Copies of this chain bind each other. A is one copy, B any other.
Amino acid sequence: MATVKDIAKIAGVSTATVSRALANPDKVTASTKLKVEKAAQALGYSPNGLARSLRTQQTRTIVVVLPDIGNHFFTDIIKGIELIAHKKGYKILIGDAQHCAERAKKYFDLVFSKQADGVLSLTTDIPLQSILNADGSSKIPLVMACEYFTHSLIPSVHIDNEYSARLVVENLLKMGHYKIACISGNEKNSISISRLQGMQQSLAKNRLKMPEQYIVQGDYSLQSGYEAAQQLLSLSDRPSAIFCHNDEMAIGALKCAREMNIKVPEQLSLIGFDNIAFSEFCQPQLTTVNQPRQLIGETAIKLLLNILSGKKPNPEITLPAQLISRGTTMAPPLDQRLLIDI
């Protein structure tokens, strides 16, 4: 493999000049630039990124850690991240943590071992103890997107999950639903907690309360939505509406309702979250909450790049989300309708 030294020999200049000719062409005479370029071309030169990074102390690489590469929701976020990163001359590498902090650690370690400049985490399954300082700030350049830790100083970009959940519940209440259930994510998951809180706030404001058996935990997968729905729809006093904390689980619930001969939306309203592509391709089309995914990605990477360039930016950015009403919601049957006008 050719090195600057080889080029220097052929071009008849020093390695320093080669380096400059390649990196700062304006710091060098046109003729030497040409000589160097020709020699580099002839040798098929490709700079050694390791040596360069070792010398410059930066890699221009950032790692995006995903909880699960199988989750569709992240696609557009990554598109947004790549768009900006590419513009700024940064490379994006994706790491799939598979919901496991230990696996995530491998990717975080890339910055400790100087192979990446920072981390953009889309998951909370991360090795916090090895990343956080005593004061709750991060030892490494780190930004979170979608997810967040409530008691830490890690910058984060996300939607207002509480507000979005209130939006959903108020929409259902207005239609006359009052038996509203929910299929949530993991109980320790900040997103799910916020959405649950939002639901409960809205219900409380209308002097309603979600009974405990109306809250079933899933893991954001199709199958878990299906199973959770089985549980909910087998209750003696079954809900007239289910708010699922992501679209996959809603689609799983939809299948369950179909198999139990419960008509959606006539007998059961279903709301998802995320507005993934499939939500428009199921039958009926899924009512859901849209997140500005690409924008989340763009904002998060900008935040991280700012941190890398030494700025102390806004630690928390909240982006707007919208309810998208489609075919899985309507007013409940008359006998299950809330009569108090709200």
- Give Cα A315 to B218, complex, Å: 43
**Contact of A96 with B94 in the complex, beta carbons under 8 Å:** yes
A46 within 8 A of B: yes
Give min CB distance, A86 to chain B, whole Å. 8
For the complex, is A91 an interface residue (Cβ under 8 Å from B)?
yes
Q: How distant is the Cα of A63 from the Cα of B93 in the complex, in angstroms?
A: 9
* Interface check A113, CB cutoff 8 A: yes
Given contacts A106-B91, A281-B255, contact A50 B115 (CB under 8 A): yes
Pairwise interchain contact A47-B113, C-beta atoms closer than 8 A: yes
User: A251 — which chain B residues lie within 8 A by C-beta?
Assistant: 278, 281
Q: Are B96 and A48 in contact (CB under 8 A)?
A: no
Compute how far the CA of A82 lies from the CA of B66 in the bound complex, rounded to whole angstroms.
14
Contact present for B69 and A113 (CB under 8 Å): no
Q: A310 within 8 Å of B by Cβ?
A: no
Question: Does A273 make an interface contact (CB < 8 A)?
Answer: no
| A93 partner residues in chain B, CB cutoff 8 A | 63, 93-95
| A238: interface (CB < 8 Å) | no
A320 within 8 A of B: no
What B residues does A313 contact at CB under 8 A? none
A113 touches B48 (CB 8 A): yes
Contact A283 B281 (CB under 8 A): no
- Residues of B within 8 Å of A278, CB to CB, are 222, 251, 278
Q: How far is the CA of A47 from the CA of B255 in the complex (A)?
A: 51
Chain B residues with CB below 8 A from A86, complex form: 103
Bound Cα distance from A133 to B94, whole angstroms: 29
Contact A49 B110 (CB under 8 A): yes
A258 interface residue, CB < 8 Å from B? Answer: yes
Partner of A95, one of B94, B277, B280: B94
The 8 closest A-B pairs by CB, nearest first: A49-B113, A70-B75, A94-B94, A46-B112, A93-B93, A50-B54, A49-B115, A255-B281
Task: With A49-B113, A50-B113, A51-B54 given, name 19 new contacts (CB 8 A).
Answer: A48-B114, A49-B110, A50-B50, A50-B114, A51-B114, A69-B69, A69-B75, A70-B75, A78-B96, A82-B98, A82-B103, A92-B96, A93-B93, A94-B94, A222-B281, A251-B281, A252-B281, A258-B283, A283-B283
